[in-house]
């Protein structure tokens, strides 16, 4: 499914627009061999450049059928290095799927989220059949629970699966799905934005790359470390990446 890929900060990104992604996903049927899309943002890229780089998580990103940039900060850093990374956010992609791709009678599996969330989602999209799997807490370190979630996806054989358990759990689960059909989307909190469980940043902040600041202000206790401690490492990673390419005689 990839069109053109470019390496940036040790991640292989597909150079595709949201419309191109959506057009390709329209071709997916309930019989299509299983594939999945990942949407790395700053947090994901920092993690992938750490200990996870050579781990199962690194393989999960490398083996994804589509890998699109979910961060205007990443896109801006790439632009400074003459690399074009179209921004395709998981939230926008999920909304586009529900509004323009999914047809009456389609079955969609949801991994993560509460029963109430899925009920509200079904009320908003009554023409879609949702099946739900709610993994236990501690999913990141619970390999048996990850395998159970992957088995649920494989057995459900839905046209699409929304993996909404956060990163890196959702990517690890997607990579473990075997002998199944349909397509998985690693979407984080996208469904909560659609149901109103969370409020997304205003468009002006999203367009200017400040959605992270809005989210930090909305939930500082949970997100302060991600955005104020771990996130800023992306600038050091970008500097090192550029220095390495320059040292190898590659154009930056």
**pLDDT average, residue stretch 75-87:** 93
CB-CB neighbours of 203 under 10 Å? 9
Q: For the segment 95-108, what is each residue's pLDDT rounded down to a tens digit?
A: 999 999 999 999 99
Relative to beta strand 160-163, strand 183-186 is: parallel
What pTM did the predictor assign?
A: 0.89
Burial of 220 (0-12, 13-18, 19+ CB in 10 A): exposed
Alpha carbon distance 110, 179 (integer Å): 18
Q: How far apart are the first and last CA of the chain?
A: 27
Q: Strand 66-67 relative to strand 107-111: parallel, antiparallel, unpaired? A: unpaired
106-144 pLDDT, tens digit per residue, is 999 999 999 999 999 999 999 999 999 999 999 989 999
43 has pLDDT over 60: yes
Please state the rounded mean pLDDT for residues 223-233.
Answer: 76
Kindly indicate the confidence band of residue 29, based on its pLDDT and cuts at 50, 70 and 90. Answer: very high
Is it the case that residue 248 has pLDDT exceeding 90?
A: no
| pLDDT on residue 252 | 44
Over 90: is that where the pLDDT of 92 sits?
yes
Residue 3: predicted pLDDT:
60
């Amino acid at each position: 499914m990839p069109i053109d890929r470019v390496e940036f900060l040790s991640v292989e990104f597909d150079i595709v627009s949201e419309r191109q992604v959506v057009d390709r996903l329209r071709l997916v049927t309930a019989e299509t061999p299983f594939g999945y899309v990942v949407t790395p943002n700053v947090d994901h890229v920092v993690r992938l450049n750490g200990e996870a780089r050579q781990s199962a998580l690194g393989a999960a990103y490398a083996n994804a059928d589509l890998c699109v940039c979910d961060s205007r900060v990443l896109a801006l850093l790439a632009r400074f290095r003459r690399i074009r990374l179209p921004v395709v956010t998981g939230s926008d992609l999920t909304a586009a799927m529900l509004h323009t791709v999914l047809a009456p009678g389609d079955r969609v599996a949801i991994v993560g989220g509460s029963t109430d969330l899925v009920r509200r989602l079904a009320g908003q999209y009554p023409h879609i059949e949702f099946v739900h799997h709610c993994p236990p807490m501690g999913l990141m370190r619970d390999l048996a629970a990850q395998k159970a979630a992957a088995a649920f996806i494989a057995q459900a054989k839905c046209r699409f699966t929304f993996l909404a358990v956060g990163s890196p759990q959702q990517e690890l689960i997607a990579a473990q799905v075997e002998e199944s059909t349909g397509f998985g989307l690693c979407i984080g909190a996208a469904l909560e934005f659609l149901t109103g469980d969370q409020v997304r940043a205003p468009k002006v902040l999203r367009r200017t790359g400040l959605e992270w600041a809005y989210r930090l202000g909305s939930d500082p206790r949970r997100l302060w470390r991600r955005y104020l401690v771990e996130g800023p490492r992306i600038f050091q990673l970008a500097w090192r990446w550029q220095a390495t390419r320059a040292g190898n005689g590659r154009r930056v």
